Amino acid sequence: MTRVVVVDDQTLVRQGIRSLLEVAGVEVAGEADGGRAAIEVIAAARPDVVLLDLRMPRYDGIWTLERLRERGIETPVLVLTTFNDDTLVLQALRAGARGYLLKDVTLEQLTRAVRTLADGGTLVAPSITDRLLRAIRSGPPPAGGGAAPAQELTGRELEVLRLVAEGYANREIARALFLAEGTVKNHVSTILLKLDARDRTNAVLRALHEGILR
């Protein structure tokens, strides 16, 4: 069973998400009402996925993402928020979020997103994808100031990267391209190295910005 931690400052929201996910067969391994508490709960519970609200008093979602990264906690984070704002989306993804959904999603969409992230994939709400891509192409490079130019990718690496951008997990990429899952992992590692990216999401952001993906 997939295990999650729910981080939201509103008790009623946390309880509602817990009830819905448990009906769908997803175990809620812990809850937190803010970023500082979330760090401890996530470290102790070791969930498969974290559901994280962005706007919380004092220690918000971006702060939480940055602290998780500093501590080396690599649990996939799915932002679940009411804020449909391009700047926040980009900040969250660049801080390490692997997914971004609005709270008006259906239970089926939410559980699918949770399982996608648990399997190593990424997911951004389709309603904001087009705006996000336009913002990436017109904004600064996501890999950080002074990043080296991206090295050229092979045809196979481009195939893998395109599927990563569509939210495919390694297992799904392996099936789609008739490769061993270990081979896909090696391709992903090489892509991260060539694009000077810290994770899959950052690699996609940089590839889009530099026109490697369209």
pLDDT per residue over 37-84, tens digit each? 999 999 999 999 999 999 898 889 999 999 999 999 999 999 998 887
Inform me whether the pLDDT recorded for 209 exceeds 90: no
Question: What domains are there in the chain, each with its CATH number?
Answer: 3-138 (3.40.50.2300), 155-210 (1.10.10.10)
The torsion angles phi and psi of 82, rounded to 5 degrees, stand at -95, -5
- Rounded distance, CA 199 to CA 104, Å? 28
Residue-wise pLDDT tens digits, 164-206: 888 888 889 999 999 898 889 888 888 888 888 888 888 888 8
Q: Which residue has the higher pLDDT, 214 or 102?
A: 102
Inform me whether the pLDDT recorded for 210 exceeds 70: yes
Residue-wise pLDDT tens digits, 72-105: 999 999 999 888 777 788 788 888 898 899 998 9
The closest of 212, 213, 142, 157 to 189, measured between CA atoms, is 157
What pLDDT is stored for residue 146 in this prediction? Answer: 44
- Rounded distance, CA 164 to CA 189, Å? 12
Inform me whether the pLDDT recorded for 149 exceeds 60: no
What pLDDT is stored for residue 41 in this prediction? Answer: 96
**Which residue intervals of 24-177 are DSSP H helices?**
35-45, 61-70, 86-94, 107-118, 126-138, 155-165, 170-177
Tell me the C-alpha to C-alpha distance, in Å, between residue 92 and each of 31, 60, 187: 20, 11, 25
Residue-wise pLDDT tens digits, 4-25: 999 999 999 999 999 999 999 9
* Summary mean pLDDT of the chain: 86
What pLDDT is stored for residue 137 in this prediction? Answer: 54
Could you tell me the sign of the dihedral formed by the alpha carbons of 85, 39, 30, 119, in that order? positive
What pLDDT is stored for residue 207 in this prediction? Answer: 85
What pLDDT is stored for residue 144 in this prediction? Answer: 45
Mean pLDDT for the stretch of residues 142-163? 72
